[in-house]
Amino acid sequence: MNLEKPFYINYDLPFEVRQKRKILLQSRADTLKEGKNAKIIWKKNQISINDLFYEVNDGELKTVDNRSLTCGPEATMEVDPATEPFLGRGARGRRGKKPGAQ
């Protein structure tokens, strides 16, 4: 197979997803021009601007509260990002000596 370089393979995304990503990219560019920090989280279709999270809703950026975990339709559990809510210091999957091994 002979292909001229460069060639690209792009995703064939639905129209709604492309529109959301277009808004995210444009808002990141505008934010960076203003001298602020901006990072796009592609898996969640969100943008973080100076540690505040936004997502595209009805063609506009709306604030998202990422500090709560939803457990059900009404239940939310507040999570303090400064603490380690699920793992202790030694339980991070690191390899090490087993207790009693020499």
Model confidence at 64, pLDDT cuts 50, 70, 90, reads: confident
15-40 mean pLDDT: 93
76 or 3: which leads in pLDDT: 3
Contacts of 2-9 with CB under 8 Å at 24 or more apart are: none
Residues 6+ apart with CB under 8 A from 17: 45
Quickly state the pLDDT bin for 100 (edges 50, 70, 90).
Answer: low
Q: pLDDT tens, 34-55?
A: 999 999 998 888 999 988 999 9
Check pLDDT > 60 for residue 93: no
